[in-house]
A and B are shown apart, each in its own frame.
Chain A
Amino acid sequence: MKYMLLMQFSAAGTDFPGIDTWTPQEVQAHIAFMGEVNDKLTAAGEWVDAQGLGGPQQARIVCAGEGGTPVVTEGPFAETKEFLAGFWIIDCDSPQRAVELAAYISTAPGPGGRPLNMPIEVHPVMSAPAQEL
């Protein structure tokens, strides 16, 4: 079963300062942990994909305007209280295992090396085989 784990930061759900205010050691420890996550997932035969995303300053919102021409709204979006920092796609044996992995990612270290316990969204990927209906 494939799942997408989303690392979504929201003003409501996070109670730690932005990564740009951490000490170099704290940032380093956080990056090292993320590398470890990918190593563990690969070693377990569960890794499908993982990517970090550019911050809200780099994000764009695009709509089709007149005649299909793109109408681009630049970030940061004052009205958006949350942004997507990154995602993993995993292929694991059970929903319980997906939850377990999300909880592990949630413990990524932050200021003072303490676990961030950040919220991780777990979404099933629509990859189930179709049955005869």
Chain B
Amino acid sequence: MASTDPRFEDLLRELAPQVLGVLARRFGDFATAEDAVQEALLAAATQWPAEGVPANPRGWLIQVGYRRMIELVRGEQARRRREDLVARRDPDDRQYAPAADEELTAERDDTLVLLMLCCHPALAPASAVALTLRAVGGLSTAEIARAFLVPEATMAQRISRAKQRIRASGLPFRMPEPAERADRLTAVRQVLYLVFTEGHTSTTGPDLRRIDLAVEAIRLTRALHTLLPDDSESAGLLALMLLTEARGPARTGPSGELISLADQDRSRWDATAIAEGVALVTRALPRGPIGPYQVQAAIAALHDEAPSTQQTDWPQILALYQVLERLVGSPVVALNRAVATAMVYGPAAGLAALDALADDPRLAGHHRLPAARAHLHEMAGDREQAVTDFRAAAARTSSVPEQRYLTMRAARLAAEASPPAPEA
């Protein structure tokens, strides 16, 4: 978006999925409607700052998008005719453009339909993420490309392939059948969480024009929660994001170095976000059905509410990890449970739990296992083993800030283990 005025940006991003829903329904063609909406957004971003926001911004966007849609469909039909193909669509009976004040689908919000379409399991995760950010988030291809540090042409191609895939699969633009909804909603949450975790990618150099993916993920998840207020797992996901993001200001030091939970300055955590996250998860949990995002949010809430690592309710966190393990049998969850076990019963018990994971092929070569082991050996006072494990973990991570953190940790312990320098 060309506009640098955040007011326009927020408004346009909020309206983008609504306008797209109207056009996709009218023409029965999501892929083309998506292009038309992008052009309408661009027109608004260039015209509104000069001319002011129209009285009915949504109607304005629908009109511009509609006109562009007609052109795109006609152009495509002409092309198809040239190629001697039978045109599948005939917009002739829709030649009139809607009036700006026409209540096309007045109270309808298609955001959920769009989310389900863009997060369809047929799409690779990276494609679903890109398409969701553009079609539902109202971001431009350039912004998405910058956020993922790839060239714009590459991102454009990724999005266009994802749209072709949706078109080829003949997915209708409507809510999936009730039987399918739960699975599709699970896919939507996974894509949104993926956007959120990508938000913690380290940037090389400050890029002020880079979209904050964590903020975008929270915005979209908030929209999901607004549309489905009774869906406890979506509430749990929003809570988890808020409770994690709340620690953001304290997670990194002045030169971008990671600061572990134990060492963070808790006064810098975002109290407002914590309060909202806690309220969300507190409401969601008893309502059920319980799901992995709610449990993770509950764990995050216990961390966020604790005044220090020592005064954290570790027994409760351990119990929650046991619940989480029953819900999703992932080795990373088992690994976190082992760390919580150490906090409750001491490092030896935690290390014994980690030993049970040593041969899990899903963790082979993963840095999290040696990293967890290193922390527990350090807890147990076994410096030498901790140094070895921290170094092993540093060699395996593919995140620069994590690598630096693990390397520093090993270096500090190794320095402590060597004969102390005389006091200055």
Contact = CB atoms under 8 A, between A and B. Distances in A.
A132 B247 contact: yes
Contacts of B247: 132
A124 B396 CA distance: 11
A132 B241 CA distance: 13
A46 to B, nearest CB: 7
B112 interface: no
Interface stretch (A37-45, A57-65, A67-75, A106-114): A37-45
A66 interface: no
A84 interface: no
B260 interface: yes
B198 A129 contact: yes
A130 B401 contact: yes
B1 interface: no
A52 B297 CA distance: 48
Contacts of A45: 126-127, 154-155, 157-159, 161
A12 interface: no
B399 A129 contact: yes
B201 interface: yes
Contacts, number: 78
Interface in A85-108: 91, 93
Nearest to A127: B201
A133 B155 contact: no
Nearest to A126: B400
Nearest to A132: B261
B153 A42 contact: yes
A133 B371 contact: yes
B170 to A, nearest CB: 22
Interface string B221-252: 00000000000000000000000100100010
Interface stretch (B13-21, B144-152, B285-293): B144-152
Interface string A26-53: 0000000000000000111111110000
Contacts of B148: 91
B32 interface: no
A133 B261 contact: yes
A128 B157 contact: no
B76 to A, nearest CB: 20
Interface string A14-30: 00000000000000000
A128 B399 contact: yes
B418 interface: no
B272 interface: no
A80 interface: no
Interface string B397-417: 111111101000000000000
B200 A131 contact: yes
- Secondary structure class of chain B's binding surface, majority of residues: helix
A129 B195 CA distance: 11
A54 to B, nearest CB: 23
Interface in A112-130: 124-130
Contacts of A48: 149-151, 154
A128 B161 contact: no
Contacts of A124: 398
A124 B397 CA distance: 10
B17 to A, nearest CB: 23
B125 interface: yes
B343 interface: no
Give the one of A43, A125, A130 with max B CB within 10 A: A130
B308 interface: no
B134 to A, nearest CB: 13
A46 B125 contact: no
A93 B251 contact: no
Given A47-B154, A129-B200, A133-B402, 9 more contacts: A91-B126, A91-B148, A124-B398, A125-B398, A127-B149, A127-B201, A127-B398, A130-B201, A130-B402
25 contacts: A42-B154, A43-B157, A44-B157, A45-B154, A45-B158, A45-B161, A46-B154, A48-B151, A91-B148, A91-B154, A93-B125, A93-B126, A125-B398, A126-B403, A128-B201, A128-B397, A128-B402, A129-B198, A130-B258, A130-B400, A131-B200, A131-B399, A132-B247, A133-B261, A133-B371
Interface of B: 124-127, 148-151, 153-155, 157-159, 161, 197-202, 244, 247, 251, 258, 260-261, 371, 397-403, 405
* 7 nearest A-B pairs in the assembled complex, by CB-CB distance: A45-B158, A129-B200, A128-B399, A45-B157, A128-B398, A130-B401, A129-B201
